[in-house]
Amino acid sequence: MTRFPLFTVFLLTLGVAHSVAASSMQPAPRTPSVSDVRSTLASMPHGDVQRGKKLNQSLMCASCHGDDGVAPTQNWASLAGQRAAYTYKSLLDYQTGGRHENDRATLMKVVVKGMSRQDMADVAAYYASLPAKAAPAPRLDAAAHARTDRLARRGDPARLLTPCASCHGVAGQGGVNETPALAGQSVGSFVRTMQDYREGRRVTDANQGMRQFAERLTMQEIHDLAAYYARPGKN
């Protein structure tokens, strides 16, 4: 390893430590309303894909999320094919303190600290331009697939669970506003995200919509949904 990457890692480590100390003095994040989200996205700059591709390297986004938006490990989210509005809002949430649910969020807060809103829009546009790819996942047996497909497409009225597809699209391609794509997401990232919503660590969902949904799911259902969306159409 060359001196430059070592020095960069050292600076990031110092930044994380500073961010952790500073976070203890910040007010708790506030759950946004639907109007808050719409206002944020209305002011989103037009993204430049080619500039975003360069920023993916120069800001070291690729070291966690991959050159082509596919994370090399399940420690991080894959962003290939992710909707630009979702990625942009997420980056802004990290920068403004709306997201700080775990150590990964702490590192992200350091990375986005110096990004402009144009930078965020450009990176988001680059990831959105990439094709989503199926992620490694266990194959669901016929019964598990049928249950999960029904939950994804029809929901569960008895538990007041709306279909995943009503917001995230029939194929997990994402929906309107900040609703993210789920297709091709790694099992690890999907499960962690749902647990963070379920346990109240992530509060960036408008009107607590995802928290209310995740709280009503069993952990088995969360794992099955993760496998279902990681390999869309292949289970």
For 179-196, how does the pLDDT look when each residue is reduced to its tens digit (9 = 90+)? 999 999 999 999 999 999
pLDDT of residue 207: 84
Tens digit of pLDDT at every position of the chain (235 positions): 333 344 444 445 445 444 444 444 455 667 787 788 888 889 999 999 999 999 999 999 999 999 999 999 999 999 999 999 999 999 999 999 888 888 889 999 999 999 999 999 999 999 999 999 999 999 999 999 999 999 999 999 999 999 999 999 999 999 877 899 999 999 999 999 999 999 999 998 888 889 999 999 999 999 999 999 998 877 7
Residues 168 and 164: their CA atoms lie apart, in Å, by 6
Domains of the chain: 3-16+29-129 (1.10.760.10), 142-230 (1.10.760.10)
pTM: 0.85
